[in-house]
Structure 1
Amino acid sequence: MRHILEAIHSLTSSGGSGKAVSADFAALSLPESYRAVTLQEEETDMFAGLDTRDKDPRKSLHIQDVPVPELGPGEALVAVMASSVNYNTVWSSIFEPLPTFHFLERYGRLSPLAERHDLPYHIIGSDLAGVVLRTGPGVNAWRPGDEVVAHCLSVELESSDGHNDTMLDPEQRIWGFETNFGGLAEIALVKSNQLMPKPDHLSWEEAAAPGLVNSTAYRQLVSRNGAGMKQGDNVLIWGASGGLGSYATQFVLAGGANPICVVSSPQKADICRAMGAEAIIDRNAEDYRFWKDEHHQDPKEWKRFGKRIRELTGGEDVDIVFEHPGRETFGASVYVTRKGGTIVTCASTSGYNHEYDNRYLWMSLKRIIGSHFANYREAWEANRLIAKGKIHPTLSRVYSLEETGQAAYDVHRNLHQGKVGVLALAPAEGLGVRDEEKRAQHVDAINRFRLSGRPTE
Structure 2
Amino acid sequence: MADMGDIREAILAGDRTEATYSALEVPDTYRGVTVHKDEVGLFEGIPSRDKDPRKSLHLDDVPVPELAPGEALVAVMASAINYNTVWTSIFEPVSTFGFLERYGRLSPIAKRHDLPYHVVGSDLAGVVLRTGPGVHLWKPGAEVVAHCLSVELESAEGHGDTMLDPEQRIWGFETNFGGLAELAVVKTNQLMPKPAHLSWEEAASPGLVNSTAYRQLVSRNGAGMKLGDTVLIWGASGGLGSYATQMALAGGATPVCVVSSPEKAEICRAMGAELVIDRTAEGYAFWKDEATQDPSEWKRFGKRIRELTGGKDIDIVFEHPGRETFGASVYVTRKGGTITTCASTSGFMHEYDNRYLWMSLKRIIGSHFANYREAWEANSLVDRGLVHPTLSRTYRMEDVGQAAYDVHRNLHQGKVGVLTLSPEEGLGVSDPEKRARFEREINRFRDV
Q: TM-score, normalised by structure 2?
A: 0.99
Indicate which of 2, 6, 27 corresponds to 2:5.
Answer: 2
**Which amino acid is the alignment partner of residue 372 of structure 2?**
Y
Partner of 2:49: 53
Indicate which of 128, 140, 147 corresponds to 1:144.
Answer: 140
Query: 2:192 and 2:60 mapped to 1: Cα distance?
Result: 28
1:288 aligns with 2:284: yes
**Which amino acid is the alignment partner of residue 35 of structure 1?**
R
RMSD: 0.7
1:323 aligns with 2:326: no
Deviation of 1:143 (Å):
0.7
Deviation of 1:27 (Å):
1.1
State which drifts further: 87-96 or 237-246.
Answer: 87-96
**Which amino acid is the alignment partner of residue 10 of structure 2?**
A
1:408 aligns with 2:404: yes
Identity score, percent: 78
Query: 2:336 and 2:384 mapped to 1: Cα distance?
Result: 34
Deviation of 1:418 (Å):
0.5
Query: 1:448 and 1:263 mapped to 2: Cα distance?
Result: 16
Partner of 1:15: none
Q: TM-score, normalised by structure 1?
A: 0.97
Partner of 2:99: 103
Deviations 1:255-274 (A, max 9, x none): 00000000011111000000
Deviation of 1:5 (Å):
1.0
Indicate which of 338, 345, 356 corresponds to 2:341.
Answer: 345
Give the secondary-structure state (helix, strand or coil) at the position aligned to 1:30.
coil
Give the secondary-structure state (helix, strand or coil) at the position aligned to 1:351.
coil
1:93 aligns with 2:89: yes
Indicate which of 225, 229, 242 corresponds to 1:229.
Answer: 225
Query: 1:411 and 1:285 mapped to 2: Cα distance?
Result: 22
1:387 aligns with 2:378: no
Partner of 2:439: 443
**Which amino acid is the alignment partner of residue 9 of structure 1?**
L
Task: Give the alignment of 1:26-425 within 5 angstroms.
Answer: 26-425=22-421
**Which amino acid is the alignment partner of residue 365 of structure 1?**
L
Query: 1:347 and 1:122 mapped to 2: Cα distance?
Result: 23
Deviation of 1:9 (Å):
1.7
**Which amino acid is the alignment partner of residue 104 of structure 2?**
G
**Which amino acid is the alignment partner of residue 125 of structure 2?**
A
Query: 2:19 and 2:260 mapped to 1: Cα distance?
Result: 51
Deviation of 1:360 (Å):
0.6
Deviations 1:181-232 (A, max 9, x none): 0000000000011000000000000000000000000000110000000111
Deviation of 1:52 (Å):
1.1
Query: 1:278 and 1:414 mapped to 2: Cα distance?
Result: 24
Query: 1:107 and 1:386 mapped to 2: Cα distance?
Result: 32
Query: 2:36 and 2:444 mapped to 1: Cα distance?
Result: 36
Give the secondary-structure state (helix, strand or coil) at the position aligned to 1:292.
strand
Query: 1:350 and 1:92 mapped to 2: Cα distance?
Result: 17
Deviation of 1:309 (Å):
0.6
Query: 2:12 and 2:390 mapped to 1: Cα distance?
Result: 26
Query: 1:43 and 1:165 mapped to 2: Cα distance?
Result: 37
Gaps of 5+ in 2: none
Query: 2:399 and 2:231 mapped to 1: Cα distance?
Result: 36
Count, aligned residues? 445
Deviation of 1:82 (Å):
0.1
Deviation of 1:356 (Å):
0.6
Query: 1:350 and 1:57 mapped to 2: Cα distance?
Result: 18
Query: 2:250 and 2:122 mapped to 1: Cα distance?
Result: 26
Query: 1:379 and 1:168 mapped to 2: Cα distance?
Result: 15
Deviation of 1:433 (Å):
0.2
Deviation of 1:126 (Å):
0.3
**Which amino acid is the alignment partner of residue 198 of structure 1?**
K
Partner of 2:425: 429
Query: 1:321 and 1:112 mapped to 2: Cα distance?
Result: 43
Query: 2:287 and 2:92 mapped to 1: Cα distance?
Result: 23
Query: 2:345 and 2:42 mapped to 1: Cα distance?
Result: 21
**Which amino acid is the alignment partner of residue 436 of structure 2?**
A
Query: 1:428 and 1:24 mapped to 2: Cα distance?
Result: 23
**Which amino acid is the alignment partner of residue 337 of structure 2?**
G
Deviations 1:37-87 (A, max 9, x none): 000111111111111111111111111110001111000000000000011
Give the secondary-structure state (helix, strand or coil) at the position aligned to 2:209.
helix
